[in-house]
């Protein structure tokens, strides 16, 4: 059948199973929006293109499908850039479709012309400029395959406006996509598996570092089997939280700059590090020359570019993590490490004595109290997204993850403003569930315009707003390292309750701990968006904290329990 290029786009998206698109129309993508009216795909009009990019990312992470965001040329396309970067850093499968000026105008500085493929080349897994309708169907098919396969990531398709009008015969192949030179690996070699078994057998103090790759490959069961068979404790990256149950006796919690003290001590004293689907990010390692210096290191990943990039390792296993562990588990022997587990338990007990939850309150409301009480009241069952800052780290610490795919946050890019729009996307992936976003007053003010989108869609998204009157994480660094010179970190905001009410979103403010459960219950009784503002202690800090340039075990720790 003959279709316009715009119709080819929509027909191809339907064939790829797309059910929802987040976007914003404009002159250069108007034909696609016109064609959209005739197709069974839900469009969500965000209030900013960055919101669309974050929402598509949240949808992808919560659904396991490829997210889709759409924008026009020029500023519409460039407004996607932070969201594309976020998806790239966190290996999130999203296809971004942008309009472009007519092919005859490219290079002439036409109105709203921007070289978006040039801009996004370093922050996409692949991108395309389409100048002929005959290229569209195959380009879209390839884009979705690239986004979801191997190590997932964002792909951008820039489509000229005249291409969208051009008529072409439409065919959509059902055959598997084959791209020359691109074949993501599945199985590690037998030689590398055998070498791994020898290192594992000889270890006395092993530690597993479980990253986002565990969740992306669906290797949670294989990870648990390996940990239990070899008696190996498991520390997790921020994006790996949920990959190993928090209640498991071998669970160490989050590692790194704001990880648990016992996880960091275990890593620094290990004699074998097993890195499963993680990339040795600087927030995980501390200073590199002191990182796990006494440990041999095994790195399992589907992306060979991560091997020896930051941390030099003794053995690499290239392949899909679930497949590699499925191959490794039958050949690794049962092992026991009682003395090592006993040492770790002692570190855990000391960590507990420093937890602010066990301090006297004296009427003060701390963010940790809020998030802990929310976790307890909700039984840890909610899908939770976050913005970026102190509230993000407190969420990682106190909203305990027993199950996978419940926490959605911006890790590698650390993009403020991610929380609310990503929650919108997560809700469209799970419309039968209640989704919460834990926001900070600084991060929320970067995307609070999406309150309008939440209301327009009647999305069952609840906003738990931690308001401490500061750009809290930057202020914390200023407190520790800049003599409390709070340069540009005190931040004012609107009356958040009145702001939400102006959007016709129910809201309430809380400043006492005994008010927390009542506010949470009100939100849960109300279908649709709700905002709860928690006015917390302004100068609280996230502990532990590994200072910049310090070794992983040189943490700043909250003092042992005192009566505050």
Active site residues: 49, 111-112, 161, 473
Q: Which residues are CB-contacts of 326 (< 8 A; sequence separation ≥ 6)?
A: 222
Burial of 138 (0-12, 13-18, 19+ CB in 10 A): middle
C-beta separation of 96 from 21 below 8 A: no
What is the distance between the alpha carbons of residues 471 and 234, in angstroms, rounded to a whole number?
32
Sign of CA dihedral 405, 408, 411, 413: positive
Q: Which residue has the tokens 């999305």?
A: 459
**Which 3 state secondary structure label does DSSP give 47?**
coil
What is the distance between the alpha carbons of residues 94 and 415, in angstroms, rounded to a whole number?
16
What is the distance between the alpha carbons of residues 428 and 420, in angstroms, rounded to a whole number?
13
Question: On the CB side of 346, how many CA atoms lie within 13 Å of its CA?
Answer: 6
What is the distance between the alpha carbons of residues 443 and 286, in angstroms, rounded to a whole number?
25
| CA-based R_g, the chain, Å | 24
Cα distances (Å, whole numbers) of residue 439 to 239, 349, 418, 471, 538: 17, 30, 9, 12, 15
Strand duo 126-130 + 155-160: pairing: parallel
């Amino acid at each position: 059948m003959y279709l316009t290029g715009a119709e080819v786009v929509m027909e191809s998206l339907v064939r790829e199973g797309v059910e929802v698109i987040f976007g914003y129309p404009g002159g250069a993508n108007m034909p696609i929006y016109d064609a959209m009216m005739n197709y069974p795909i839900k469009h969500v009009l965000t209030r900013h293109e960055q919101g669309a990019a974050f929402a598509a990312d949240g949808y992808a992470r919560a659904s396991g499908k490829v997210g889709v965001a759409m924008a026009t040329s020029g500023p519409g396309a460039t407004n996607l850039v932070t969201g594309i970067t976020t998806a790239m850093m966190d290996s999130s499968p999203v296809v971004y479709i942008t309009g472009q000026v007519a092919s005859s105008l490219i290079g002439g500085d036409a109105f709203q012309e921007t070289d978006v493929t040039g801009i996004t080349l370093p922050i996409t897994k692949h991108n395309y400029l389409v100048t002929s309708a005959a290229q569209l169907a195959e380009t879209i098919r390839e884009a979705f395959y690239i986004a979801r396969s191997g190590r997932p990531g964002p792909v951008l398709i820039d489509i000229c406006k005249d291409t969208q009008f051009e008529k072409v015969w439409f065919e959509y192949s059902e055959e598997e996509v084959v791209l020359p030179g691109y074949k993501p690996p599945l199985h590690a070699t037998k030689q590398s598996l055998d070498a791994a078994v020898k290192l594992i057998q000889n270890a006395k103090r092993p530690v597993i570092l479980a990253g986002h790759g565990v969740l992306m490959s669906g290797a949670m069961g294989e990870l648990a089997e390996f940990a239990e068979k070899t008696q190996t404790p498991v520390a997790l990256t921020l994006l790996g939280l949920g990959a190993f149950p928090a209640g498991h006796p071998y669970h160490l919690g989050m590692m790194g700059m704001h990880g648990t003290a016992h996880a960091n001590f275990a890593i620094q004293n290990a004699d074998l590090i097993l890195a499963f689907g993680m990339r040795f990010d600087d927030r995980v390692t501390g200073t590199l020359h002191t990182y796990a210096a006494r440990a041999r290191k095994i790195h399992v990943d589907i992306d060979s570019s991560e091997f020896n990039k930051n941390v030099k390792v003794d053995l690499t296993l290239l392949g899909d993590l679930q497949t590699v562990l499925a191959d490794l588990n039958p050949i690794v022997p049962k092992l026991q490490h009682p003395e090592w587990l006993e040492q770790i338990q002692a570190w855990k007990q000391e960590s507990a004595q420093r937890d602010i939850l066990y301090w006297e309150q004296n009427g003060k409301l701390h963010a940790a109290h809020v998030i802990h009480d929310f976790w307890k009241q909700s039984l840890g069952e909610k899908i939770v997204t976050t913005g970026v800052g102190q509230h993000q780290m407190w969420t990682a610490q106190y909203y305990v993850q027993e199950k996978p795919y419940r926490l959605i946050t911006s890790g590698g890019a650390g993009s403020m403003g991610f929380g609310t729009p990503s929650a919108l996307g997560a809700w469209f992936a799970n419309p039968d569930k209640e989704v919460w976003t834990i926001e900070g007053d600084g991060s929320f003010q970067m995307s609070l315009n999406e309150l309008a989108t939440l209301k327009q869609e009647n999305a069952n998204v609840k906003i738990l707003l931690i308001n401490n009157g500061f750009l809290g994480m930057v202020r914390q660094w200023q407190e520790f390292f800049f003599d409390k010179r709070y340069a540009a970190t005190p931040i004012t905001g609107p009356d958040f309750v009145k702001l939400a009410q102006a959007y016709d979103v129910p809201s309430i403010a809380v400043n006492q701990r005994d008010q927390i459960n009542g506010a949470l219950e009100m939100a849960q009784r109300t279908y649709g968006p709700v905002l709860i503002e928690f006015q917390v202690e302004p100068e609280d800090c996230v502990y532990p904290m590994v200072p910049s340039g310090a070794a992983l075990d040189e943490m700043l720790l909250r003092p042992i329990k005192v009566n505050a």
